[in-house]
Amino acid sequence: MPFLLDGNRTRDEILAECRPRIDAFRAQHNRAPGLSVVLAGNNSASEVYVRNKTKTAGSLGMQGETILLPESVTTKELLALVQRLNSDPAVDGILVQLPLPPQVDAPKIVLAVAPQKDVDGFQPINVGLLSIGRPGLRPCTPAGIIELLKRNGIPIAGQNAVVVGRSNLVGKPMAMLLLHEDATVTVCHSRSRDLAAVTQTADILVAAIGRTAIITAEHIRPGAVVIDVGMNTVTDRAEAERLFTPERLAIFDRRGSLLTGDVHPLDMARLASAYTPVPGGVGPLTIALLMRNTMEAAERRMAAGA
């Protein structure tokens, strides 16, 4: 039987480790670490993510705030807000929820966030620090995956790791973090030739390409560890029949939709030695690492006299 990599359990472990640090910070500095989350527009998925982030921050004793901006917000207005948060001594972490409305210059906004408050790990200075292995705030999802592997006793050093997807948010930082853990890393993408031949070499296979169940049995070496980063909604019943067990299909029929990842769930469960389910695998780790990043940002700022 394959081993299920439970993201909820790892999330709870990381959050439990944050609590005493938050208490110690409050006792020493007479305030809680502060996280400001900026949400522009009316993206329903983003609203759910932001609500979960601020709710988790509050449950840990952090000072979390959500700043809601209209769909019509301009780049200039958002830049002014980011600069205000950069200069606010009570704000330790700034997260600008992506995607932004189309008229906003998103790269300019990301660049404007102070690196020491960039708890998403997307600011170019933090990306550069990651690339050369220097301390800095790491992107939450890839950092969470490394935690998941380590805490479940899965070796990384010396393993062949294949990352499918080259996004700035997951694929590229995932590859760099695996390299820093001494894995031999290959990155594949939409232009890669004979994808299955490459992914079949993986001891650790990370799928982060954003396409429903694109990774199937032909891509998975038996015994590989499979990390499915995808989060896709299936609404077509014929597709659901192809992807889900009868038990899950019954749930699909009641709800009209189900979430699945970038890896075929039945093939993954049959071939992998360990794998992340969707949902309940990688997803919970992102918020946990966001909380840890906020805590680390607060500690570093205070240590630097900020």
**Of 278, 154, 170, which Cα lies nearest the Cα of 215?**
278
**Looking at the chain, which runs of residues are DSSP E strands?**
3-4, 34-40, 63-69, 93-96, 160-164, 184-188, 204-207, 225-228, 232-234, 258-260, 274-275
**Contact, 113 vs 123, CB < 8 A?**
yes
Specify whether 28 is catalytic. no
Which of the residues 97, 116, 123, 159 is marked catalytic? 97
Which of the residues 53, 118, 203, 228 is marked catalytic? 53
Residue 264 structure tokens: 């075929």
Residue 2 structure tokens: 């394959």
**Contact, 289 vs 95, CB < 8 A?**
no
Residue 63, SS3 per DSSP: strand
Specify whether 97 is catalytic. yes
Specify whether 159 is catalytic. no
Cα–Cα distance for residue pair 111/113, rounded to 1 Å? 6
Active centre residues (catalytic):
53, 97, 120
